[in-house]
Structure 1
Amino acid sequence: MKDSLFIKAAFSEKTERPPVWMMRQAGRFMPQYWEIKNKYSFLEMCKTPEIAADVTMLPVDLLGIDAAILFSDILVTGEAMGGDLSFTAGVGPKFANPVRTQADVDALETNVGDRLQYVADAIKVIQQRLNGSIPLIGFAGAPFTVMSYLVEGGSSKDFKLAKLMLHNEPEMAHQLLSKIATVTADYLNLQIAAGVNAIQIFDSWAQALSWDDYTEFSHRYIQEIISKLDRKDIPVISFCKGSSVFAPLMAEAKPDVISIDWNVDLLDIKNRLPKGIAVQGNLDPHILYADKKVIKDRIHRLFERMRGEDGFIFNLGHGIMPDIPFDNVKYAVEVIKEFRY
């Protein structure tokens, strides 16, 4: 995979154009996704290797992107540790047994690799199907994000309960985060052993945290995870909502790539990062609702801004929304693939 555009860019090597993949590229904006989703529950899709492979391959076959990403969910680690996880249409993920007390934290297990074996099995099926054509990205949720779901019992607008634990019971919060970090490092190494070509860590809710709280309750655990990874030839991407603020701190955890949200000028932030750290991003996904001439103009504007920069992977500042027209996403990928520096 060393010759792949994506891997070269991730390791800050020169590429003739920016490689492209998009967060949530195998998902609800695709009619073909719904053909599968209408037959199975979300967790069945994640836990059945052949189905997870089918969904992973959709954007490979239909969009022609430069990297595939494993179809799974950031909360499978929380479930493996003992969380009673379910997904309901219109509601999202729920943990029926939220983690709120010391006894709840103590009950969570950390030796859970066997419970996540279905992910390794899916990776093997996907790699057979990809047959060396493009890299496969594995991923996990960052400890603070997984913790926030476990403590809140599901999605939250303000993360009040999770933040209350950080502030009122910091020792308990650190015990919980430490357990999640242990499981996450083991889980990512399981994915690497199964054959993924890159790793992304998603801290989807980091923007809920102040600088000090991010430093203490998120960054230190991401740093710990990255330090434990078997990362020879495997680029590590660090993403969080809020990366336009936290990127200089994120760099201290020594990822190969930092994925940047759309609130900042990408060249400006790259220039503030240590040499050798690539950037990924950072088109506002709402642009993909716009007319095609606008989509093309905004992609070209970003590419001209990044002209001459090694270590740039095109992506969105966050995931594709479910009602973005498929045709617009396909057009965006075509515009990117036609571009040459």
Structure 2
Amino acid sequence: MNDSLFIKAAFSQKTERPPVWMMRQAGRFMPQYWEIKNKYSFLEMCKTPEIAADVTMLPVDLLGIDAAILFCDILVTGEAMGGDLSFTQGVGPKFANPIKNARDIDNLRVDVMDNLQYVADAIKVIQQRLNGSIPLIGFAGAPFTVMSYLIEGGSSKDFKLTKLFIHNHPDLAHKLLSKIAAVTADYLNLQIAAGVNAVQLFDSWALALCWDDYKEFSHNYNVEIISKLNRKDIPVISFCKGSSVFAPLMAEAKPDVISIDWNADLKDIKHRLPSNIAVQGNLDPHILYADKHVIKDRIHRLFERMRGENGFIFNLGHGIMPDIPFDNVKYAIDVVKEFRY
């Protein structure tokens, strides 16, 4: 993997062009994804190694990206710990037994790697299929984000229950976060042992927090997780919605890459980070709805802004939306791959 554009950029080395992958690159915008999804439930897809490998390989085969990312979900750690998880079309994830009190937290298990062995098995199948062609990224949900789902019982617009919990019961919140953090570190190390070439920590809902709460209830646990990773030759990417605000704190956790949302000027963020931390991002995914000349112009505009900067991975500021035209995604990736500094 030393010759991989993605690995080189992740370790802040010079590349002839930015490598490209996209969050949610194996997903609902692909007709081929639906051919599989219509036969199985979402959790069946995650938990059946051959199917997870089939979905992981779709953007490799159809889009020609520079890195694959494991097909799974950030909430499988919460399920392994004892959450009753389900996914409903049009509704999203639900935990039928949300966390409400100290007893619920005490009942959560932390010795759960046997429950997540299917992920390691999927990684081995995927790596056989990739056969060293491009790197495979593993990932996990960060503790605050997983906690928010466990407390809310599903997705939330305002995170009212989660915020009430951390403000009124901070000791219980820390107890819960400590459990999730321990599982998350073990889980990422399980993926590394199984053969992933990089890992990303997704703190999808960090933007719900003010600066002080982010530091106390999110950042400190991300620091703990990253410090425990067996990361030799394995770049670690840190992502959150709100990274344009929280990037200076995120850098203190010593990731190799910080993935930046689309609200920031990427070069400005890069120059405010330590020189050995790469940046990933940060095209607004809504641009992929636009006409192709607009897509090309915006990608080239970003690349010209980042000209001369080592340590830049092209990605979106967040995931691909389900109704973005497949042809537009393919076109964007082709534009990236044709570019040369």
Structure 1 residues 180-191: aligned runs within 5 Å: 180-191=180-191
Q: Verify: 1:104 aligned to 2:104, yes or no.
A: yes
Distance 2:214 2:230 in 1: 25
Structure 1 residues 223-302: aligned runs within 5 Å: 223-302=223-302
* Counterpart code for 2:207: Q
Structure 1 runs of 4+ off > 3 angstroms? Answer: none
Distance 1:329 1:225 in 2: 33
Correspondence for 2:200: 200
Q: Displacement of 1:16 after TM fit?
A: 0.2
Task: Give the 3-state SS of the residue equivalent to 2:2 in structure 1.
Answer: coil
- Structure 1 unmatched ranges of 5 or more: none
> Scaled by the length of structure 1, what TM-score is found?
1.00
How many percent of aligned residue pairs carry the same amino acid? 87
Q: Displacement of 1:239 after TM fit?
A: 0.1
Q: Displacement of 1:52 after TM fit?
A: 0.1
* Counterpart code for 2:112: V
Distance 2:69 2:2 in 1: 17
Q: Displacement of 1:100 after TM fit?
A: 1.0
Correspondence for 2:141: 141
Structure 1 residues 121-200: aligned runs within 5 Å: 121-200=121-200
* Counterpart code for 1:155: S
Q: Displacement of 1:275 after TM fit?
A: 1.2
Distance 1:70 1:105 in 2: 29
Residue by residue over 1:106-138, the C-alpha shift from the partner in whole angstroms, topping out at 9 and shown as x without a partner, is 000000000000000000000000000000000
Distance 2:188 2:198 in 1: 10
Task: Give the 3-state SS of the residue equivalent to 1:114 in structure 2.
Answer: helix
Distance 1:326 1:219 in 2: 35
Task: Give the 3-state SS of the residue equivalent to 2:139 in structure 1.
Answer: strand
* Counterpart code for 2:210: S
Correspondence for 1:328: 328
Q: Verify: 1:48 aligned to 2:28, yes or no.
A: no
Q: Displacement of 1:2 after TM fit?
A: 1.1
* Counterpart code for 2:10: A
* Counterpart code for 1:134: I
* Counterpart code for 1:143: P
* Counterpart code for 1:271: H
Distance 2:91 2:290 in 1: 28
* Counterpart code for 2:125: V
Structure 1 residues 10-159: aligned runs within 5 Å: 10-159=10-159
Over the residues paired in the alignment, what is the CA RMSD in angstroms?
A: 0.2
Distance 1:241 1:132 in 2: 31
Task: Give the 3-state SS of the residue equivalent to 1:158 in structure 2.
Answer: coil
Distance 2:303 2:111 in 1: 45
* Counterpart code for 1:112: V
Distance 1:73 1:133 in 2: 24
Distance 2:333 2:43 in 1: 29
Count of residues in correspondence between the two structures: 341
Residue by residue over 1:3-55, the C-alpha shift from the partner in whole angstroms, topping out at 9 and shown as x without a partner, is 10000000000000000000000000000000000000000000000000000
Distance 2:126 2:166 in 1: 39
Distance 2:58 2:216 in 1: 39
> Scaled by the length of structure 2, what TM-score is found?
1.00
- Structure 2 unmatched ranges of 5 or more: none
Correspondence for 1:339: 339
Distance 1:276 1:163 in 2: 34
Residue by residue over 1:126-181, the C-alpha shift from the partner in whole angstroms, topping out at 9 and shown as x without a partner, is 00000000000000000000000000000000000111110000000000000000
Distance 1:161 1:106 in 2: 19
Task: Give the 3-state SS of the residue equivalent to 1:97 in structure 2.
Answer: coil
Distance 2:260 2:316 in 1: 8
Distance 1:100 1:262 in 2: 35
Q: Displacement of 1:324 after TM fit?
A: 0.1
* Counterpart code for 1:207: L
* Counterpart code for 1:114: D
Distance 1:308 1:302 in 2: 12
